[in-house]
């Protein structure tokens, strides 16, 4: 989780206190992986507000890969998916995303 958090901080400039991350591990019999993957295969799914540039997303992918590499996970065992639902599909504290006053910039 720290590897993902550090990647988000450096690539997307998320606020220091924005550690809204969950880790879910599946037993091998409940999670099909590519036949070319090792037992270290990881699937990273990140849901984020829309607005980040292609360059920021590329920095994120590279930072995740580098951080996981430090943990002994090969690039071929890393699969990252970014989900960017539009703001009207979010709500925080009952406030629709389209009405939120976001305290940080997503325009990175």
The strand pair at 78-83 and 91-92 is best described as unpaired
DSSP, collapsed to helix, strand or coil, labels residue 91 as strand
Dihedral angle sign, alpha carbons of residues 24, 30, 35, 38? positive
pTM for this prediction:
0.86
Residue 42 pairs with which residues in a beta bridge?
78
In the block, which residue shows the tokens 């295969």? Answer: 41
Q: What is the pLDDT of residue 62?
A: 98
Question: 60 near 22, Cβ under 8 Å?
Answer: no
| Structural domain spans, the chain | 2-27+38-99
CATH match of 2-27+38-99 with 3.30.429.10: yes
Q: Answer whether residue 105 shows pLDDT above 80.
A: no
Q: What is the pLDDT of residues 50-59, one digit of tens each?
A: 999 999 999 9
Q: What is the pLDDT of residues 4-51, one digit of tens each?
A: 999 999 999 998 888 888 888 888 889 889 899 999 999 999 999 899
């Amino acid at each position: 989780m720290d590897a993902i958090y550090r990647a988000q901080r450096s690539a997307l400039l998320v606020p220091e206190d924005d550690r809204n991350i969950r880790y879910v591990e599946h037993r091998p019999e409940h999670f099909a992986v590519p036949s070319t993957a090792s037992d270290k295969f990881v699937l990273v799914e990140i849901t984020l507000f829309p607005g980040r540039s292609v360059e920021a997303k590329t920095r994120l992918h590279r930072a995740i890969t580098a951080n996981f590499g430090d943990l002994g996970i090969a690039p071929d065992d890393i699969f990252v998916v970014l989900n960017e639902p539009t703001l009207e599909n979010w709500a925080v504290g009952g406030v629709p995303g389209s009405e939120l006053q976001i305290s940080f910039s997503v325009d990175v």
